Each structure stands twice: as structure tokens, then as C-alpha cells.
Chains A and B, each alone.
Chain A
Amino acid sequence: MRKRFKKWVMGRTDVMDRILDDASEIYDQPRETIKKQRMELVREMEERPGYERTLETEQKGFYLIYHIVAVISCILLIGVLLYTVAMLPRYGEENVRADEVVERYVERGLEETGAVNIVSGMILDYRAFDTLGESHVLFTALICVMILLRVDHKNMRSEYEDYYTVLSDRYYSLERDTIIRTMGKILLPCIFVYGIYILLNGQNSPGGGFSGGAVMGTGLIITAAAFGFDRVDSFLPLRVSMWMTFLSLMFYSFAKGYVFFTGANGLENHIPKGVPGAILSGGLILPLDIAVGLVVAGTMFGFYSLIRRGNIGGA
């Protein structure tokens, strides 16, 4: 038992080794034969006796009940929620009964955090723990997509998935479109400068970590679409991209993860707060902003790259 457990932990057992599929056999065949084989497989499944019958009888009775129940539940849901909306307080008036937290955040926010933008100061100083959890959600989503979509020999060994097709449609290159390339040359410096500006001025004006990171991620996507993936690989290979995302997340975790042990408010900041309105102000808010922005940018580009070609960087 222990030997099997150890083998599983070290990654030496193969979950799909009973579905045998020799990759080299499929890879060498021409594309037409493979297509024909695939169509035949699907047709075989359909022509089996009893297939039509199971489809029909399962679905007919089921649909009637399903539609009736769905209509009733939709009407009930909207009705109950609209009735609740009618009992809410008036729209646009302040809530006099739940004022203590807002009072503390607005009136003493500037002197305690040093941030002029109250929302930024709130999510990175008073409630920094929520942002920590949210960055972890982003990173976990990137890992999940990588598990599902990455093209390598462990992921593509079943008799229904077409190894050759998947391997050959990795690079759908845009046909070197003139419009995208010219507009890319004009717009891309502006986009990156704008993204860095939003990121660095998170505490003085609207913006912050998420917005700046999203704009920079979109800039990277446009670079990959306009100039091809080879250009992006030359300055952002796999190792740099993943280390950047991982190190930012680790920095944020170590900076604000000790609240597990000391309670909700954490320790006191010894970093000087500076003059409100300057870039270097706000204590720990500026480094945390940069960390969150890098995590978001790396994740957005990683999603796009995994869907387009099956891996983040490199060959």
C-alpha cells in the first residue's frame, strides 16, 4: 500500500494507461484518414441498435416536465425578488442605521492609510485579507486552465481525441493583417504607458491594482495577436511569466498573511506614509498594488495563450 501511495505521489503511475494509444502511429498518418476515422467513430456510436430509441424516450417525457418546472421557478424567483425590492429603503438616500464603519473609513482613512482614493486604501489596507484571497482565486483558475488545456503527451491519450489535429492547430496565425499591425505599432506604447500610470497612481486617483493589471494584460494580448507569438516569446518566455506571477503572489502572501495569527487588524505599519498626493505615499499600498497588478496581467495573458496554442511560452 505504501509503495503504491509513494508511486502515486511521485507521479509515476499512469491513470490512462488502459486506454492504449500509440502517439507515433497516429501522428504519421495523413490528415484525411484521421478525419475519416473520427467521423466513422461517431457514426458507429449512432448506428448502434437502441441508440435512437434511448434518445427519444429519455428526452420526450423529460422535456415536458422540465419546461413546466423551469417556467414556474423563473416566475417565482423574479416575483419574490421584486417583492423584496419593493420593501427596500428608498434609492438614493443614506442609510442612517449602519454608519459606523463608513464613518471610520471616510473620516480617518486619509490619516491612517495615507491614500487619497478611499476605495483603494480600503481594499489594500483595512481589508487586505479579501484581496489576498482574490489573488489566490486568480492563480488557481490559471492552474486549472493549464491542467485542462495544456498540450503534452499525458493530456492527449484517448481514442476519441485527435492528437494530430490538436497538435497541428496550435498556431492559427493571423494572416499578417495590415490593419492590426499598423494600429498595434501606434497604440501599444500608449496602452502600456496608460496601464503603468493607472497602476502607480492607485492611491491618488481612480484605478488601482485590478484596473492597471487588466489594461496591461489586454496590451499583452494585443501584442500576441498583432505580431505573432514568437515576438512575445522573445521577451516573455514561460519561465519569466510564471516566476513573475508566482513571486508577486508570494510577496503579497508574506506581507499580509500573518493576520491568521495576530487578528484582523494586523501589526502597525512602520513604513512612512509620506505626503498624500505623491506617488511614493501610502505606506505598503504601492508595493501591494504592483504585486496585484502583475498577478492579474500574467493571469489574463496566460488564459489567452493557453486557449490559442496550448501552452504559455516556449516551444
Chain B
Amino acid sequence: MTYMTEIFKIIMLVLLIVCAVSVNLTRGLLKAVIIFMSYSSIMCVLWVLMESPDLAITEAAVGAGVSGILFMATLKKIDAEKEDAREEETEDGRERT
């Protein structure tokens, strides 16, 4: 069928928009970073469909690789993986679970 590529491309674009919206709505910070890494991988598939393989290799190595790892290393360093994005203040000052 001649329209299979088009349908595949439309499905990938819809998945991209779903990933981008769900980064807004999640609560945990670690979950948002993981969804961001999957967003980057879907982008890599889109670059192949648009006939530019250089961009695909670079996006896979940099977006899902280095950028995601830097986010996770930051979260580990400041001890904020389980932190709620909308936090409620307890009475104990700034102690958060």
C-alpha cells in the first residue's frame, strides 16, 4: 500500500504530542525525565522517516543518551527523585518526603 509511510508518520507524530502533554501532567520528577527520554527516541525514528540518517544517529546518542543522563545525575545529586512537583508544605519547615 502506498500510504503506509504516511500513516506511520501520522501515528509517530500523535505519539510525540501525547508524550509532550504527559510530561506536563505527571507528578514525580523521575517519571518526567523518563518520558522525556522516550520522546527523544520517537524523534529519532521520525528523523529516519524524513531521510536524514545523520540527524537520527546524533539525536539518539545525544537526546536519549547524554541529555537524559545529565538530568538523572542532577536529580541524584540534589536528592529529589521522589519529590512531588506540586509540593505541600508540612509543618516541619522544609522537610519533604
Residues of A within 8 A of B (CB): 39, 42-43, 46, 117, 119-120, 169, 172, 198, 206-208, 210-211, 214-215, 217-218, 221, 300, 303-304, 307-308
CA gap between A39 and B90 in the complex, in Å: 14
Q: Which residue of A lies closest to B53 (CB)?
A: A206
Cβ-defined contact, A215 with B57, below 8 A = yes
Cβ-defined contact, A214 with B93, below 8 A = no
Residues of B within 8 A of A (CB): 52-54, 56-58, 61-62, 65-66, 69-70, 73-74, 76-77, 93-95
Cβ-defined contact, A221 with B77, below 8 A = no
Cβ-defined contact, A304 with B54, below 8 A = no
Cβ-defined contact, B70 with A211, below 8 A = no
Main secondary structure on chain B at its contact with chain A? helix
Cβ-defined contact, A207 with B54, below 8 A = yes
CA gap between A302 and B77 in the complex, in Å: 16
Provide the residues of chain A in CB contact with B93, threshold 8 Å. Answer: 39, 42-43, 46
Q: Which of B54, B74, B76 contacts A119 (CB 8 A)?
A: B54
Q: Which of B58, B69, B74, B94 contacts A211 (CB 8 A)?
A: B58
Q: Which residue of B lies closest to A123 (CB)?
A: B54
CA gap between A132 and B77 in the complex, in Å: 33
Least CB distance, A275 to chain B, in whole angstroms: 22
CA gap between A210 and B70 in the complex, in Å: 18
Cβ-defined contact, A218 with B66, below 8 A = yes
**Known A46-B93, A211-B54, A211-B58; contact A304-B73, beta-carbon cutoff 8 A:** yes
Cβ-defined contact, A211 with B76, below 8 A = no
Chosen A-B contacts, 5 in total, with CB atoms closer than 8 Å, are A42-B93, A119-B52, A215-B61, A221-B66, A307-B73
Cβ-defined contact, A172 with B57, below 8 A = no
What are the 7 A-B residue pairs with the smallest beta carbon separation, nearest first?
Answer: A206-B53, A214-B61, A211-B57, A307-B73, A218-B65, A211-B58, A43-B93
Provide the residues of chain A in CB contact with B56, threshold 8 Å. Answer: 206
Provide the residues of chain B in CB contact with A119, threshold 8 Å. Answer: 52, 54
Provide the residues of chain B in CB contact with A215, threshold 8 Å. Answer: 57, 61
Cβ-defined contact, B77 with A217, below 8 A = no
CA gap between A208 and B55 in the complex, in Å: 10
Q: Which residue of B lies closest to A217 (CB)?
A: B66
**Known A42-B94, A172-B76, A206-B54; contact A304-B61, beta-carbon cutoff 8 A:** no
Cβ-defined contact, B54 with A307, below 8 A = no
Cβ-defined contact, B62 with A214, below 8 A = yes
Cβ-defined contact, B66 with A300, below 8 A = yes
Q: Which of B52, B76, B93 has the most CB of A within 10 A?
A: B93
Q: Which of B65, B74, B94 contacts A214 (CB 8 A)?
A: B65
Least CB distance, B38 to chain A, in whole angstroms: 17
Cβ-defined contact, B73 with A308, below 8 A = yes
Q: Which residue of A lies closest to B94 (CB)?
A: A42
CA gap between A267 and B73 in the complex, in Å: 46
CA gap between A43 and B91 in the complex, in Å: 11
Least CB distance, A236 to chain B, in whole angstroms: 17
Cβ-defined contact, B65 with A210, below 8 A = no
Q: Which of B53, B54, B62 has the most CB of A within 10 A?
A: B54
